[in-house]
């Protein structure tokens, strides 16, 4: 089991760093010098722009936190496997991770970006692994995931077929735009997915169903990408989903702070589930 965990961590790290490389490769080449407390960057067109040092630091840290986000689900998945019980946690974070990986892998194919393609193919496989482990220990007939396991499988399958249809029937440029916009939506769903359990959190007064490692990693990651996307890259497709993800992550942290991981609440949820 230890070897499997090491292998998974290695693959996640490779996938995340490959995605980071792809982001860097997509940006216009620039030469930077430091002047005082600002960084002066020369773009391909010869124009110069000044950025505060703290913004350059954010730009450096943002990709590193993407690695943190990819690694974040591991403690939760290992705990589920160890306890053979997923409690009241939602399945949506893992099904959306698999779907998100598939969409961005397809986007990498359409835009001829090998790093994006291979990183997200691995992300799809890892999301599928999380899904499989969760499904293995999910209570029979559970319907608060939200929905059921079968419904999650159906939706992910529809996403795969719909995007395959788009790839086969639209020009490459049009298909890449459709898939890219869909990817932004799926990105928001991925970071908002732990909130699927918010009704149970309030009803049971326990936030045990919200995975803390992923929530903390999401808060840091989305904060940095919001700043970098808005102030440095000025890219709507970077800062908008990041801001939405940040809002969702902060809401989850708020619920964690208010309710904590009360065992009483968890027991109450399990009693409610068994009575349905």
Q: Give the pLDDT confidence of 61-94 residue by residue, as tens digits.
A: 887 777 677 778 888 899 998 998 887 788 888 8
Measured between alpha carbons, how far is 168 from 180 in angstroms, rounded to an integer? 16
pLDDT digits (tens, 9 = 90+) for 223-251: 998 998 899 888 777 788 889 989 989 99
Measured between alpha carbons, how far is 45 from 27 in angstroms, rounded to an integer? 13
Q: How far is CA 79 from CA 74, 75, 125, 226, in A?
A: 8, 6, 20, 31
pTM tops 0.85, yes or no: no
Name every residue whose Cβ is closer than 8 Å to that of residue 120 and which is 6 or more positions away in sequence.
Answer: 15, 19, 100, 101, 102, 103, 104, 105, 107, 108
pLDDT in tens, the chain (276 residues): 443 444 444 444 444 444 444 444 344 444 344 444 444 444 434 445 578 899 989 988 887 777 677 778 888 899 998 998 887 788 888 898 889 889 888 988 888 877 667 767 877 888 898 899 998 888 777 766 778 888 999 999 999 999 999 989 999 989 988 988 888 888 888 777 777 777 778 888 888 878 888 889 889 989 998 998 899 888 777 788 889 989 989 998 999 999 887 654 444 434 434 443
Q: How many CA atoms lie within 13 A of 38 on its CB side?
A: 7
């Amino acid at each position: 089991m230890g070897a499997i965990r090491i292998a998974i961590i290695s693959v996640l790290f490779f996938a995340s760093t490959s995605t980071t490389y792809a982001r860097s490769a997509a940006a216009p080449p620039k030469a930077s010098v430091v002047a005082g407390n600002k960084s002066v960057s020369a773009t391909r067109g010869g124009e110069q722009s000044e950025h505060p040092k703290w913004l350059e630091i954010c730009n450096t840290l943002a990709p590193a936190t993407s690695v943190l986000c990819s690694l974040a689900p591991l403690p939760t998945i290992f705990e589920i496997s160890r306890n053979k019980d997923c409690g009241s946690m939602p399945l949506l974070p893992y099904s959306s991770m698999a779907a998100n990986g598939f969409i961005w892998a397809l986007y990498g194919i359409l835009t001829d970006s090998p790093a994006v393609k291979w990183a997200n193919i691995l992300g799809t496989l890892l999301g599928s692994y999380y899904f499989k482990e969760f499904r293995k220990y999910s209570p029979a007939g559970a319907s608060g995931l939200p929905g059921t396991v079968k419904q999650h499988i159906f939706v992910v399958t529809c996403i795969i077929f719909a995007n395959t249809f788009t790839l086969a029937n639209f020009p490459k440029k049009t298909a890449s735009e459709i898939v890219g916009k869909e990817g932004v939506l799926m990105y928001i769903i991925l970071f908002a997915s732990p909130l699927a359990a918010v009704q149970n959190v309030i009803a049971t007064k326990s936030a045990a169903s919200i995975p803390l490692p992923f929530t903390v990693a999401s808060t840091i990651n989305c904060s940095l990408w919001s700043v970098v996307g808005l102030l440095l890259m000025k890219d709507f497709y970077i800062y908008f989903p990041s801001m939405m993800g940040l809002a969702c992550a902060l809401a989850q942290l708020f619920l964690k702070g208010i309710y904590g991981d009360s065992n009483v609440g968890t027991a109450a949820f399990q009693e409610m589930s068994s009575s349905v």
